[in-house]
Amino acid sequence: MKSIDVRDAANSLSSLIDAAERGEPTTITRDGKPAAVLVPVKEAQKLYSDTDKDFLSFLLTFPGRLEMKRDGR
């Protein structure tokens, strides 16, 4: 993954977006430390899907069996 300082990223944002559209993520650093990552939209959608907003939908995506019991209170 390519890394670029935030100042340089600001000056070359258009080319970084072009790279993201081609599937090439870029780490943006500040003072030599990773601060953000520019990724293709499809990758971000995988990380931040709409199911995060609905807890029941999230539970229904659980691949295993989910058993819940009440404690009687």
pLDDT above 90 (res 62):
no
pLDDT digits (tens, 9 = 90+) for 1-19: 899 999 999 999 999 999 9
Residues 6+ apart with CB under 8 A from 45: none
Q: Is 66 exposed, middle or buried (0-12, 13-18, 19+ CB in 10 A)?
A: exposed
Structural domains in the chain, CATH included, are 2-60 (3.40.1620.10)
pLDDT digits (tens, 9 = 90+) for 23-46: 999 999 999 999 999 999 998 888
- Give the pLDDT of residue 40: 93
- Give the pLDDT of residue 35: 96
Distance of CA 1 to the CA centre of its chain: 15
> Which contiguous run of DSSP H or E holds residue 55?
helix 55-60
Is the whole-model pTM more than 0.75?
no
